[in-house]
Structure 1
Amino acid sequence: MNSIIVSQTIAIARNTIIQTAGKIISIALGWVILLILTNYLGAAGFGSYTIMSAYLQFFAVAADLGFVLVSAQLLAERPDDKDKVFANLLTFRLVTALVLFLAPFGIWLFPYSLLIKQGVVILTISFFVIALLQVFTGLFQKELSMGRALTGELLGRVVLLVAVSITLFAGRGLLFVVWGVVFGSLANLLLAALLARRFVKISLAWDKAIWLAIWQRSWPIALGIVFNLVYLKADTLILSLTRSEAEVGIYGATYRVFEVLITFPTMFAGLLLPILAAAWARQDLAVFRQTLQRSLDVVIYLAWPLVVGVAFTAPRLSALFGPEFRSAGTILFMVVVATSIVFVGTFLGHVIVAIGRQRSMIWAYALTACISLIGYLIFIPAYGAYGAAGMTIMAEFIMAALGYIMLGHFIGERPSLNKFGTAIVATVPMAAFLWIFSSWPLVILIFGSMIIYLIMLYWLGALTREFVVQLLIDKKI
């Protein structure tokens, strides 16, 4: 049994490394795009773009329905009928995503500039395309072929980078960038559709039984996502209505760091979902619990060094956004603290979905959303971006804590968090390195601290020699 768990852990880790390599390239492109935009548009200009995106995300979540998870689950459960299931998933997604086109009508009721309103109209197309992409992502996740999804994502990033570069060198405006986002999303969808043809026949279909199954799976996730959105995006909208576009831009730039980094736990948990769901379905509790524990340990090892690393480098990192963002170091650090909590919370949330208890967590999302909204309305008008970041930390902590407590209740045993101690010890030399050599180039500090942290994990036994050798050499797994 232990060999099964070790083999599964290594298989997950190997897939994660492959995906992480692609994700790092995508993130690198995303960082280049972000830095060009913040430096070129300035705080106010980037604030306008942030408002467009935050506004549309409310409509996107209304049409989300947790389709990546639902698609992966249904396709995994019906492998002999996957063409039919995929066709119904795609049609259902196409119909429900039409709600996005209500967004351009609502934006005219808000006291935003004409530029922001025009941008929302254009950007709606991109959000519609991204909604369709969720079905393909679920397919690739089920087929353990997320590299294909990443290929499409990379193409979309390249198209956007070209648009942003033209904006920079030709002196074009923000709306040109928005059109670049649209064409990047379209390129991503087209490539995903081409790559998906290896696994399924792409068509549209309507089957009442399958649509009912989709709805039964998706509505609890969707309701949770709606509540989740309140404490993730209401802060930006409230900030936009009470503070300047420049302050929204500063907060939006740091929040992009949050959005980029949380793709890692989402990707990792997505890989785990089929394995945990299968173990739970056959009631192999020993394999389930040990796989859960090993994976949670990995998430903890990823989350904690983020906090320590940014604590020592936040002022220099925020300065990369441009001269108007130099004061954003404290906000950036607060956002990264929230990010580290999300690492754990996202993982626990996916495990709860894997055991089919997402409906039992709706109250937790609702409670967190209510507390967050009250906090935002109190602290954002008074403290601006600092109030928004502080309440984000609080919201994520509440959600992660409730997820941890409820997961323990569902499975009869709470997973151990003792690896936090190992992670803290491993970051002590890393922190010393960042403090002593703080004047060194930022790139050296980042990679140097990563190497020191990995060495410490290895020395402490968190990364065993056998695990690393199997991961890199053993081809039979």
Structure 2
Amino acid sequence: MFKKVIYNTGAQIIGKGITAGTTLLITILIGRALGEAGYGDFTKIFVFVGYFYTLGDFGINAVYIKLADDKNNFILLRSLVGLRLFITLSLAIAAILISFLIPYNPQTGIGFSPMVKLGIIVASLTIITQGLFTTANAFFQRILRYDLSTIAAICGSLVILLGTILTFIAKGGLLGYTISYVFGGLTFVFISLYLIFIKTKKLILPKFSLAQSKIFISKSWPIGLALILNLIYFRIDVFILANTRSSAEVGLYGLAYQFFESSLAIPIFFANALYPLLAVLYRSDLNQFKKQIAVWLKLLTLFSILLVFGLIMVSFFIPFIYQGRFTGSVPALQILALGTPFFFISALLWYLLIIFDKQKYLLIVYAGGAVFNVIANLIFIPRFGYLAASFITVVSEGLILLFLIIALYVKPKTFNLLRE
């Protein structure tokens, strides 16, 4: 088991290292070209469409992995593709319509400008591509071949980088950078589907099955709603910043968060690789299951502490990288770095609740976190700006971790299992 987890996590980390490198170059080019305010507008666009990425996810992958076996895998995958295609197409249309309702004050420059709204219309196409790429990842996760997902991610990232470089040279502006992400998303999808075809010798065509869709939704809704609540507390700060502070502040926070968010992929990779294996051990070997949990909790904690120091060191290089600009991002990243251990451990506990069939508690956990986060951000962001958003993000994730621990020990059976 250890070798499988390390292999799949290693494949993801290598891929993330490459994609993080390209993302850094992309961020440098966009930041230098657009400045703090322009990068703030770029952040507004992709945080807004990012809300719809999560809605398109809705936790259905976890249900597919639990239900799929060697006999029904292909049929379930086709049904999953059909459901995702319908959901994400609907969400893309909804995103475009909602964007027109978001206010903008031309005197202060606060809110979503017409150019930002146009960018949202273009970027809404990535809601569909992200949904299809997420679906392909469900297949890769089930067969424990994250290296295939990594190949698709690297190809897509390189396409985005190429588009960004061309836009930078041509001075294409905000829309040019947005279009680059659309082409990158299309690359994610086409490469993923090609790799699945190579693996299965079958073409994955969408199947629209109402009966199977009902099964997916009925079993995933607690996870899906928890993801939505997670998103609210995770990224509502940018929306509040955008409507109460300048685009420059959004840019400062957005840049710091870009560095921080890259590090959060590591615990997700570990948790994704562990989940299928832990689910099997839970049914077959409880003693080994408990040992693996103890080992990985210690490892994740150690990795997270090392990463805290790494992010703090990186923060001092931001002004140098961006030609003296974005100095305000330094303290924001340093504050965010302190929350890294909370995110690492929460990623594993999330899947433990699903394994214990207690996913409904995720809804309660993230509802509590979302309520605290929204109230705190509404109170402090208008007064203290993006640094308040950074601090509240850390406190909120600490609270989420506490809630997850409590949820795991709600029933005596689970308490005894984890204590022994």
Tell me if both proteins adopt one fold, taking TM over 0.5 as the criterion: yes
- Give the SS at the match of 1:286: helix
- Whether the 8 Å contact between 1:368 and 1:398 is mirrored in structure 2 is yes
Instruction: Decide whether the 8 Å contact of 1:408 with 1:414 is kept in 2.
Output: no
> Whole-Å Cα distance in 1 between the matches of residues 308 and 12 of structure 2?
23
Q: What whole-Å deviation, never above 9, does each CA across 1:255-288 have from its counterpart, x for those lacking one?
A: 1122211111111111111111112233x32111
The offset of 1:387, in angstroms, is 0.8
Structure 1 partner of 2:308: 307
| Superimposed CA distance per residue, residues 43-93 of structure 1 (whole angstroms, 9 cap, x where no aligned partner) | 111100101112222233233211332333332xx2211111111111111
Q: In structure 2, what residue type is equivalent to 1:29?
A: T
Partner of 1:135: 135
Name which of 47, 70, 94 aligns with 1:102: 94
Cα-Cα RMSD:
1.8
> Aligned to 1:324, what secondary structure does the other structure show?
coil
Contact 1:253-1:321 within 8 A present in 2 as well:
no
Aligned residues: 406
Distance across 1 between alignment mates of 2:324 and 2:358: 47
3-state SS in 1 of match to 2:100: helix
SS in structure 2 of the partner of residue 204 of structure 1: coil
Shift of 1:322: 4.2
Match of 1:69 in 2: 62
The answer (yes or no) to whether the contact 1:45–1:245 under 8 Å persists in 2 is yes
Match of 2:228 in 1: 226
Q: Match for residue 278 of structure 2? A: 276
1:206-355 equivalent positions in 2, closer than 5 A? 206-282=208-284, 284-317=285-318, 319-355=320-356
Matches within 5 A, 1:82-161: 82-97=73-88, 98-110=90-102, 111=104, 112-161=112-161
Cα shift at 1:225: 0.8
Question: Structure 2: how far apart are the matches of 1:201 and 1:187?
Answer: 17
TM-score by length of 1: 0.82
Cα-to-partner distance string for 1:335-381 (whole Å, 9 max, x where unaligned)? 12223321111121122223321112211110110011000000100
Aligned amino acid, residue 93 of structure 2: F
Determine the structure 2 residue equivalent to 1:178.
178
Q: Within 1, Cα distance between the matches of 2:261 and 2:243?
A: 22
Q: Does 1:79 align with 2:80?
A: no
For residue 108 of structure 2, what is the aligned residue in structure 1?
none
Aligned-pair identity in percent equals 25
Question: Aligned letter for 1:412?
Answer: F
Q: Give the 5 Å matches for 1:17-32.
A: 17-32=10-25
Partner of 1:460: none
Partner amino acid, structure 2, of 1:63:
G
For the pair shown, which has the larger CA radius of gyration, 1 or 2?
1
Deviation of 1:153 after TM superposition, in Å, equals: 0.8
Question: Could you tell me which residue of structure 2 aligns to residue 370 of structure 1?
Answer: 371
Structure 1 residues 205-228: Cα deviation after superposition (integer angstroms, max 9, x where no partner)? 244442232112211111101111
In 1: Cα distance, 2:222 partner to 2:149 partner: 26
CA deviations over 1:399-443 (Å, ceiling 9, x no partner) = 111112322445224869xxxxxxxxxxxxxxxxxxxxxxxxxxx
CA distance in 1, matches of 2:115, 2:46: 13
Which residues of 2 match residues 345-424 of structure 1 at below 5 A? 345-409=346-410, 411-413=414-416
Residue 313 of structure 1: how far off its partner (Å): 4.6
| Consecutive unaligned residues in structure 1, runs of 5 or more | 1-7, 417-477
**Structure with greater contact order relative to length (CA < 8 Å, sep ≥ 6):** 2
Q: Distance in 2 between matches of 1:71 and 1:43?
A: 42
Cα distance in 2 between the residues matched to 1:55 and 1:168:
23
2:255 & 2:417 partners in 1: Cα distance? Answer: 36
Residue in structure 1 matched with residue 109 of structure 2 by the alignment: none
